[in-house]
Structure 1
Amino acid sequence: MGGQCENQNPNSIPCPVTSTEQIPFNSEATPLVATPVTAPTIKIPVVLAEPTLQIVVESDITLNPAATEIKRVKKNVFLNQVKLVPVSFARIANTDFFTVTRAKLFVAGHIRKNLEYASAACNGALQDRIADIPFSGFTDLTFPQTPGGPTPIFGISEFAEANFLNEKTQMDARLDKVFFQNLVKYNEQPFGELVAANFFELDFSPVMASPESTFSTLREKIVLELTVKVLQVQQVRLGAGSNVITPSLFGLTPPTSP
């Protein structure tokens, strides 16, 4: 059973193939009931920034067996880190939530390079060499990226402690009696997505090879323009003039407007 036969020859008849006829199903539209909502609040990934980073790398790739000619090069990018580290904040109204106004974006990954080349063998098969070229670095981001655009949002946790006097002497502390308050806010972690990679590359042998001679080292200089998205899941209220929604979670010492 299947599409293969043994001991075929050019004059043999086609192999029989078992098939199953598909039975058509009836289909009709499912009735839908719409419930009007004036301004619903939804929780969605919000695009905070979409920067294009210029990454410059140089490396040497060893070829074994040696090459006489480069035939084709194919490249892809793999990211293992897109992390946002905030360094500047602005308070949201009279709350203890903050928007990020400036941050460092750390990016790391590697370029996977698939290299096909011809060797010195007469009528030899094409050789294949796969190399991973790592890169890492950071860039500065300011928010919002456009006027009125979205920004990362973080709630700051609070820890408070109250101590007591010795009620008998009123002269020293009660070391065995303490009041604690601890408000922890759990924030959505900003994350990254790979959008596009544009490669500009120069490959050459460090020692120039004459025609039909071989070279065993390939030096590459790559300029990679890498585009990524930086996102954070946020609550957004839809409607005219959509708003980002944050809760009011005051601790014992609520903030005051300046």
Structure 2
Amino acid sequence: MFENHHKMSECHGTSNMHDCKSHCHHPKVSIGKIVTKVPVVLAELTLQVNVDATITFPEAVLEIKDIKKTIKLTQCRLLLPSNKLFVKGFVRKNIQYASPCKEIEETSLTSIASDLHSYTVDIPFQCVTDIKHFLSMPVMPEVNNRQEFDFFISKPLPSGYPEKDELQTHDLSQFHQESHQFYNEIPYCELVSSKIIEWDEAIDRCPLPHTGPIGEGYFRTIEEKMVIDICVKVLQNQQIRVTSTTNDDCD
């Protein structure tokens, strides 16, 4: 009885891919001269950064098998009203390497046993460059300002002054001010592409202890030199005027 109930409760489902028809909707478009706020490309440029760094592994390295690299920007700031662009970031490197392992097999004159490990490290960089040519000029920031003002008052003078004379001044018990504060659009960056040329070299390589094949050794520290080319777009949200003259139907 239990087996029959189990068979009755089983659920079998199938799914097929079917074609579905679609049609184009006629969009609602404002006709005329329209003011909109959109990102405007101020500049597109390639930065070249030179990096010299030292990496120390947590264990002995027989050889490096592969290195995967990724550029990550942490800051890209156009310092208005100047044309200086400040860039900060780091290269994320995942290094796959072989490490000698005696637990697998003892090293001999003709063989070495090793484990495949990986080590991830961040190599920081920073630079400052001039934007010599703007594709579109940035909207310069409006400067905040404050202005104080006073009101005229007249008061009777104390004894010792002529009765018809008055003290004419401003009221020290009051404070009046007009302040303007502007919330400017700050430029920002988008990372377009990157290219890295690197040279990695062990600086503490030594032969394997006791015995091992000819020319084999291990190291823990490498010195690397990188030439990094980074292409970025510098943008700013701006108000622009566009013209819409038609609202044709979709074909």
Q: TM class, shorter-chain normalised? A: 0.7 to 0.9
Q: CA deviation at 1:209?
A: 5.0
Which runs of at least 4 in structure 1 moved beyond 6 Å after TM superposition?
Answer: none
Residue 202 of structure 2 contacts residue 222 of structure 2 at CA under 8 Å; is this kept in 1? yes
Quote the residue 2:35 is aligned against: 41
Quote the residue 1:85 is aligned against: 79
Residue 38 of structure 2 contacts residue 240 of structure 2 at CA under 8 Å; is this kept in 1? yes
Question: What secondary structure, in the 3-state scheme, does the structure 1 residue paired with 2:175 have?
Answer: strand
Q: Where in structure 1 are there 5+ consecutive unaligned residues? A: 1-17, 88-101, 241-258
The 5-angstrom pairing of residues 31-110 of structure 1 reads 31-35=25-29, 37-87=31-81, 102-110=82-90
Quote the residue 1:145 is aligned against: 134
- Within 2, Cα distance between the matches of 1:74 and 1:171? 79
**Amino acid of the residue matched to residue 159 of structure 1?**
R
Question: RMSD of the alignment, in Å?
Answer: 2.5
Q: CA deviation at 1:208?
A: 5.3
- Within 2, Cα distance between the matches of 1:136 and 1:74? 21
- Within 1, Cα distance between the matches of 2:183 and 2:145? 12
Quote the residue 2:160 is aligned against: none
Q: CA deviation at 1:65?
A: 2.4
Quote the residue 2:99 is aligned against: 119
CA distance 1:22–1:110, change in 2 (3 Å): same
Q: CA deviation at 1:165?
A: 3.7
**Identical-pair percentage:** 33
Question: What secondary structure, in the 3-state scheme, does the structure 1 residue paired with 2:134 have?
Answer: coil
Residue 46 of structure 1 contacts residue 231 of structure 1 at CA under 8 Å; is this kept in 2? yes
The partner residue of 2:173 within 173, 176, 179 is: 176
Q: Where in structure 2 are there 5+ consecutive unaligned residues? A: 1-11, 102-111, 156-165, 208-214, 245-251
Highest Rg: 1 or 2? 2
Q: CA deviation at 1:68?
A: 2.1
How high is the TM-score relative to the length of structure 1? 0.71
CA deviation vs aligned residue, 1:58-101 (integer Å, no higher than 9, x gap):
111112321222221111011111122124xxxxxxxxxxxxxx
- Within 2, Cα distance between the matches of 1:62 and 1:176? 68
* Matched length: 206
Using CA pairs under 8 Å that are at least 6 residues apart, name the structure with larger relative contact order, 1 or 2.
2
- Within 2, Cα distance between the matches of 1:19 and 1:116? 44
**Amino acid of the residue matched to residue 221 of structure 1?**
K
CA deviation vs aligned residue, 1:186-224 (integer Å, no higher than 9, x gap):
112211111111101110012455621111111111111
**Amino acid of the residue matched to residue 131 of structure 1?**
V
Are residues 1:20 and 2:19 paired?
Answer: no
